[in-house]
Structure 1
Amino acid sequence: MGIATATAFINSLFIWIPFLLMLSIFSFYNVLIGVRALRFYRGGRPNAIDNAVHAVAILFAAALFGYGIYGYATSPQNFVWVLSLVFGALGMFGITKNFRMIRKPHDRATWMRFHISGMLSGYIAAVTAFSATSPDFLPGLVQWLWPTVLFTPVIARHQRRVFKLSLATVLSALILLPTTLQAAQPYGIASSVFAIPAQAKKLSLTITVTSNKNDGTVYLRLMNEKNEKVDECVAKVVDGKAVCQFEGLTPGQYAAAAFQDLNDDGEMNANMFGMPVEPYGFSNNARGQFGPPSFDDQLFDLQSNESNTFEVK
């Protein structure tokens, strides 16, 4: 990918195709952050390399957006200015969102989805560059846009599949846990290893998820203040609400995120651009403007046995 980006970079300078120049940078950026996601998947933390990568990428995205403004002012009849504005704006938004994401801890499934998105986005950018310079039989806008329209749903599908597999793994472990404990009891393990000290303060939490759609199933994940998964819950929606009960929690800060599976297919459905089409929500009814809300906005304190309610929509 580095060789392909370098050759595209050099060619675009000699022939002077600014849009292709920017596209080659975006292609390399997406693949690179996809590779870096594997490092975070293994427990690594962001460093100066990640800061530099995102700084360079945001500069090129801003330059592409500026090139679109320049194109509109000088050659409004050329559709390239439209593409420059669209890809430049989406690039700045995506790069900023990615940079904010890597600054916070996430579970392994989230990093794997991030890896898949980066690699497939890089592939889309590479195919777009090829399409724009090869198949002349296609109309101009179609040459540039068909890879995005065709392959973006693939990204959404793979992300949902990774989430579904991760959730299935957790649920399988929860189902097998009672059997494991019963098997351990004859040897005294259950009374020693799994005993809870009397002085430890353990709390219960009841989370009620409300919805204006009275069907389907709610999938809810509970996280601690470090954004680490504590537990998960699957509950049917009855009379416009689903109730999840969590026991044995320690005092501290928690956050919850949930979505309502309306068609009971076990996954969160999204449109061709990866945007959710089923209700979702977060604790404190936190909502983001152009994406999920910040994790800090979702946190709530748990110091006693409490109930918490939020809405999915």
Structure 2
Amino acid sequence: MRQHLKIALRTASIQGLILLLPILGNLFYLTGARADFKSNLTVNVDGLKNQTGKICASLFYQSKGFPSDSKKALQSQCVDITEKPQKLIFKNLKAGNYAVALIHDTNADGILNSNSFGIPTEGFGFSNNPLILTGPPKFNNAAVLVAGTNTDIQVQLQYLLGG
């Protein structure tokens, strides 16, 4: 009797495992598909003083180079100002933390111009709108989580000397 019970339990366990295999397979497939999922980050640029020049933005996925070395950015773009608020879209991003640095490049030279004291003469902004006191923010203070099909953020431009 005891032997028959052991065989019955073992058979039931095997049958249960066989029933679970398709479910487990689908779960692993969905997890793998999610890793390949791509997202867009839409940046709404508010606070433009005028529509002269361009908005230049750099997207970083790590602190290396943030915020001023656009060569180390994951993506960079400059667009003519056509609307208020101006929109920029970074496409095909994996889910994760990113930071955006942008400038209102009024003279369209591709750099944040400053005076002889190093104070910016053009508008600038960062994702997460961190408080700027004595210099640019650290990556972690500007980082935002990108997840889902589209993540929308708002960046408020700051002008220290006119603009």
**Contact 2:48-2:84 within 8 A present in 1 as well:** yes
Which structure's CA Rg is the greater one? 2
Q: Is the 8 A contact 2:43 2:152 kept in 1?
A: yes
Distance in 2 (CA, whole Å) between partners of 1:287 and 1:226 is 18
For structure 2, which runs of at least 5 residues remain unmatched after alignment? Answer: 1-31, 65-71, 159-163
Residue 83 of structure 2 is matched in structure 1 by: 239
Aligned to 2:124: 280
Structure 1: any 5+ residue segments left out of the alignment? Answer: 1-197
SS in 2 for 1:284: coil
Distance in 2 between residues matched to 1:309 and 1:279, nearest whole Å: 15
SS of the residue corresponding to residue 293 of structure 1 reads coil
Q: Which amino acid aligns with 1:203?
A: S
Q: How much is the aligned-residue C-alpha RMSD, in angstroms?
A: 1.8
Amino acid at match of 1:289: L
Task: Detail structure 1 runs of 4+ shifted over 2 Å in the superposition.
Answer: 225-228, 238-242, 263-267
Q: As a proportion of its length, which structure holds more strand?
A: 2
Q: Tell me the amino acid that sits aligned with residue 310 of structure 1.
A: V
> In proportion to residue count, which structure has more helix?
1
In the alignment, the residues of structure 1 paired with residue 74 and residue 127 of structure 2 have an alpha-carbon distance, to the nearest angstrom, of 15
Say if 2:85 is the partner of 1:249.
Answer: no
Deviations, residues 65-107 of structure 1 (Å, cap 9, x unaligned) = xxxxxxxxxxxxxxxxxxxxxxxxxxxxxxxxxxxxxxxxxxx
SS of residue matched to 1:285: coil
Report the Cα offset of residue 270 of structure 1.
Answer: 0.8
The Cα shift of 1:208 comes to 1.5
Query: Of residues 199, 202, 208 in structure 1, which corresponds to 2:44?
Result: 208
Q: How far apart in 2 are the matches of 1:234 and 1:271?
A: 22
Match for 1:312 among 145, 157, 160?
157
For 2:124 and 2:132, how far apart are their aligned partners in 1?
12
Instruction: Give the Cα separation in 2 of the matches to 1:210 and 1:283.
Output: 12
**Residue 140 of structure 2 aligns to which amino acid in structure 1?**
D
Asked if the contact 1:214–1:239 (Cα under 8 Å) also holds between the matched residues in 2, the reply is: no
- Give the letter for the 1:253 counterpart: N
Counterpart-to-counterpart distance in 1, 2:102 and 2:121: 14
Residue 297 of structure 1 aligns to a residue in which SS?
helix
Q: Are residues 1:223 and 2:60 paired? A: yes
Mapping 1:82-231, distance limit 5 Å:
199=33, 200-215=36-51, 216-227=53-64, 229-231=73-75
1:126-147 CA distance string (max 9 Å, x none) = xxxxxxxxxxxxxxxxxxxxxx
1:289 aligns with 2:133: yes
Determine if contact 1:213/1:240 at 8 Å carries over to the other structure.
Answer: no
Aligned partners of 1:260 and 1:212: how far apart in 2?
A: 8
Q: Secondary structure at the match of 1:309?
A: strand
Equivalent position of 1:23 in the other structure? none
Residues 211 and 237 of structure 1: is their aligned pair in 2 closer, same or farther, counting only changes over 3 Å?
farther
Post-superposition CA distance 1:189-240 (Å, at most 9, x none): xxxxxxxxx9211111111112231222111000014445210111122333
Structure 2 letter corresponding to 1:298:
A
Residue type matched to 2:145 in 1? D
**1:308 partner amino acid:** I
Distance 2:38 2:48 in 1: 33
**1:257 alignment partner, SS class:** strand
CA distance in 2, matches of 1:257, 1:275: 16
Separation (CA, whole Å) in 2 of partners of 1:251 and 1:263: 34
